[in-house]
Chain A
Amino acid sequence: MDWVNAVIQGILLGGLYALFAAGLSLIFGVMRLVNIAHGDLIVLAAFLGLTVTTTLGINPLLSIAIVAPFMGLLGYGLQRLVLNRTLGDDILPPLLVTFGLSVIIQNGLLELYSADPQKMSAGAIETASVGLPGGLNIGVLPMLMFATAVVVIGVLQWIFYRSAWGRAFRATSDNQDIAQLMGLNKSHVFGLAMALALVVVAIAGIFLGVRTSFDPSAGPGRLIFGFEAVIIGGLGNLWGTLVGGIILGVCQNIGAQINPGWQLLAGHIAFLVILAIRPRGLFPRIDG
């Protein structure tokens, strides 16, 4: 029964990893930008959630309503003022600039919040659970996170394939010059994509801060999980990213079940094995 439990918990954890990864996947898909600061932006969102929660005295899950729009605006501004200038034929400048951004965010948070680990408390929902036959208990909070991940990815998928924004994202991703000829200002389109990605980052960051403790240096670890989920699932495929997150979560929990020290290692090994067998991931987008 312990093994079944490990798998179920792993699946639910995978939802959180998929949330870490979705924004990363979106940004790479639209503008071929690898955002090294993605994990730090998740942690930034968690700290913002902490500030909002303590200032207003509300449940951290409700602080999403304030942090998400703020992160969206921040994303738009960041893209227009900084990141757009780095995009071009050379892939190195965006990597270097987002790496620098990562350092700045980590040290800024260290200065403002100190290095102490923080945690947000969501109240009774954190310990509430639902009993299943066979003596299994599933936490309400992990289920809520998983359900949110599914909804977020469903909404992103809808935006990407059914809305005017998504049409602009795909057209610009296909051919920036021709999209510009059609009257799409790529700087604005990229700004919108980053805004959307950071709204997802805000949700991921708050959930991270409720689920576990976090500190200013926690970002790069989340970035790795996000990368791994994206690569396992296949670049440019959002549902694949969810599956990638689930595989990562399940492997980590099975590893921990064998030996608690093997949790992270098991996830990384699963990632490397999949990368070796299917270099383009399990469900790569079919394109020319």
Chain B
Amino acid sequence: MSDVILEIDGLDSFYGDFQALFGVSMQINKGEIIAVIGANGAGKSTLMRSVTGLLTNKPEMVRFGGTSIGGLRADQIAAMGIAMVPEGRQLFPSLSVEENLIVGGQSGRSGDWSLDGVYELFPVLAERRNQASTSLSGGQQQMVAIGRALMSNPDLLLFDEISLGLAPIIIKSIYEALPGVIGTGMSAIVVEQDITRAMDISDRVYCLQEGRVSLEGKSDAVSRDDISKAYFGV
């Protein structure tokens, strides 16, 4: 088997006294795309926050490229090569499109992605580089959010609910662009409510239910029935 880039080992995550994840374990291999599915409140976003360092945990619960990162700050983890396209895009409203992208590259990691590369991937952003990021349509804002994550040349890229609140045609074009994004040797975790999309794009899938992994398997091997069971717990 290929090298493991991210290993989550018995992760328990808490918001104050509230426990959101119970002993979650996952491995993501180099170059692999993983889908994480699950109902609202199953712990998907908590998982993302734990991997990126917005929630801190016991150091050894999250390992990235062999280093324990569970206890590090988000900016330290970003510098090591994990980037996220956050749920709801969350662009910086006071910054222009180009400034949003530049801030994404702030950690100074070198690699294939640069402003020019992002503008080539999403030409419409080049036309609007000096506009306020809030003046863009939802789909264009999502492109900025993806470009901003790419600017750090991550080894692992997390997509948190990128289809949320977008028109179906926009979702389609965003997903069509994704292979070109991830195909450059990156690994990715795609968190998605839209199960069909998630299964189509990923190599393997994990389903979360009430903070626990309820299903794990190859995306083309798990059946609809298995997913329904794992998703709803029936």
Contact = CB atoms under 8 A, between A and B. Distances in A.
Contacts of A186: 75
A173 B94 contact: yes
A287 B133 CA distance: 12
A181 B86 contact: yes
A186 B102 CA distance: 17
B103 A175 contact: no
A168 B103 CA distance: 7
A178 B75 contact: no
- Of B53, B76, B93, which is in contact with the most chain A CB atoms at under 10 Å from its CB? B93
Contact of A181 (B54, B93, B94, B108): B54
A171 B148 CA distance: 13
Interface residues of chain A: helix, strand, loop or mixed (majority): helix
B79 interface: yes
Interface residues of B, number: 27
B99 interface: yes
Contact of A182 (B53, B73, B104, B134): B104
B78 interface: yes
Interface in A176-232: 177-186
A288 B92 CA distance: 11
B191 to A, nearest CB: 15
B103 A288 contact: no
Contact of B78 (A168, A175, A181, A288): A181
A119 interface: no
B94 A287 contact: yes
A126 interface: no
Interface in A134-182: 167-168, 170-171, 173-175, 177-182
Nearest to B54: A177
Contacts of A287: 93-94
A170 B75 CA distance: 17
Given A287-B94, A288-B93, A180 B103 contact: no
Interface of A: 167-168, 170-171, 173-175, 177-186, 287-288
